[in-house]
Structure 1
Amino acid sequence: MLKTLAAACLTISLSFAAAFAAKSGIGDLDRGYTRLLISECKLRGLLRSQCAYVLATTFHETGGLMTPVRETFAATDRQAIARLDAAWAKGKLPWVSSPYWRQGWFGRGYVQLTHYYNYRLASIKLGVDLVSDPAEALAPDTAAKILVIGSKDGWFTGKKLSDYINLRGADFLGARRVINGTDCASKIAAHAVAYDASLEQTGYGVAEATPKIAAR
């Protein structure tokens, strides 16, 4: 009974959050490169609810810009490195064991591709040399492929979109594990609800099952 009540409260709270999100521009399918991302999702066969989560992730990771960005939202590579060095010197990156950014492997794209091994993996998967030219991860088309294919196939954490979002339902909370554990999971789940509603209005995936938000 308590679990049922908790799940109901969660669904209601996410609904309110989704309504607030819509007023903040979340769910706007014409912002930045949103339409490009939708096209990539369709090309890769993503369900509407999966596409919604991709867009929600993008909104969160890009600060609502819906364009590829550098880590720290720097305007240049030099500025990104300087900002990360400053944060490192002040002890603000306790989870980082070594300054990966100094060789240019800082986050780039819609989903912050980070570290040499991830750039190398994406290079192999896409047939694009991101090791010699990591800045290519900022190109809208390349960044879209990294985000969409990476999320679908589980490049980032070993977890795939389909592990949480499929025709049986949409666990928008758990899906954060595809990208980054449970960091800001509730916030991004609310974004996904708003994007799913917008995508439904466009006719994306009209034949698929109606997604349900599962609590975790």
Structure 2
Amino acid sequence: MLRRLAAACRIISLCVAVAFAAKSGVGDLDRGDTKLLISECKLHALLRNQCAYVLATAFHETGGRMMPVRETFATSDNQAIARLDSAWAKGKLPWVSSPYWRQGWFGRGYSQLTHENNYRTVSIKLGIDLVSFPAKALIPEIAAKVLVMGLKEGWFTGKKLSDYINLRATNFIDARQVINGMDCADKIAAYAVAYAAALEQDGYGVTGVEAKVGAP
């Protein structure tokens, strides 16, 4: 009984979040580089709900801009490094064991690619040297491949988009584990629901299931 009640409360909360999300531009398929990301999703044969989660992730990671950004939303590499150094010095990054940003491997793109090992992995996957030239991760066409292929193939955490979103069910909440644990999972799930509706109205593919939230 308690489990059902908790699930019901979560769904109600998510519905409220979807309503608020719509006011912030979520679901707008003309915002920023959204069309580019949709084209990349189609190129890699993503299901509609998988594409919705890609867009939701991009919306969250770019602060709604739907364009590649630097970590801290800095306007230059030096500014990004300075902001991260300042946060580090003030103890605001307790989860960070070493300053990964000082060599230029701070977050970039639609997915906030960080750390040398991740830049190296993506470089191998795409055949593009992002280790020596990390700024290339800000090029929209490259950033789109990083986000879409990374989520589809499990580059970031070993978890794949299809582990949570497939033809049998859609789990927009736990899908956050594909990129970053469960950080802001409910919020991004609400974004995904809004994008799924917009994509369906726009005629993007067929998933075979209704958009659901929570565990399948």
TM-score by length of 1: 0.96
Tell me the CA shift for residue 207 of structure 1. 5.7
Tell me the distance in 2 between the aligned counterparts of 1:90 and 1:185: 27
CA displacement 1:89-113 (0-9 Å, x = unmatched): 1111111111111111101000100
What does residue 168 of structure 1 align with?
168
Tell me the distance in 1 between the aligned counterparts of 2:110 and 2:138: 8
What does residue 197 of structure 1 align with?
197
Amino acid at match of 1:68: P
Following superposition of structure 1 onto structure 2, how do residues 6-17 of structure 1 map, counting pairs within 5 Å? Answer: 6-17=6-17
2:168–2:208 Cα contact (<8 Å) kept: no
2:57–2:111 Cα contact (<8 Å) kept: yes
CA displacement 1:108-154 (0-9 Å, x = unmatched): 00010001111110010001111121100000000000000000010
What does residue 32 of structure 2 align with?
32
1:10–1:215 Cα contact (<8 Å) kept: no
TM-score by length of 2: 0.96
Identity of aligned residues (%): 75
Tell me the distance in 2 between the aligned counterparts of 1:8 and 1:98: 41
2:47–2:206 Cα contact (<8 Å) kept: no
- Residue 85 of structure 1 pairs with residue 51 of structure 2: no
CA displacement 1:138-187 (0-9 Å, x = unmatched): 00000000000000010101111011111111111100101110101111
2:113–2:119 Cα contact (<8 Å) kept: yes
CA displacement 1:62-100 (0-9 Å, x = unmatched): 000000000010000000011111111111111111111
What does residue 155 of structure 1 align with?
155
Tell me the CA shift for residue 55 of structure 1. 0.6
Following superposition of structure 1 onto structure 2, how do residues 1-216 of structure 1 map, counting pairs within 5 Å? Answer: 1-206=1-206, 208-215=208-215
Give the secondary structure class of the aligned counterpart of 1:175: helix
Tell me the distance in 2 between the aligned counterparts of 1:212 and 1:189: 10
Tell me the distance in 2 between the aligned counterparts of 1:170 and 1:51: 12
1:7–1:215 Cα contact (<8 Å) kept: no
Number of aligned pairs? 216
Amino acid at match of 1:197: A
Q: Name stretches of at least 5 consecutive residues in structure 2 with no aligned partner.
A: none
Tell me the distance in 1 between the aligned counterparts of 2:40 and 2:174: 23
CA displacement 1:20-47 (0-9 Å, x = unmatched): 2112111101000000000001111111
Tell me the distance in 2 between the aligned counterparts of 1:137 and 1:95: 24
Tell me the distance in 2 between the aligned counterparts of 1:205 and 1:15: 24
Tell me the distance in 1 between the aligned counterparts of 2:207 and 2:27: 21
Q: 1:207 to 1:61 in 2, by over 3 A?
A: closer
RMSD: 1.3
2:171–2:215 Cα contact (<8 Å) kept: yes
Tell me the CA shift for residue 11 of structure 1. 2.2
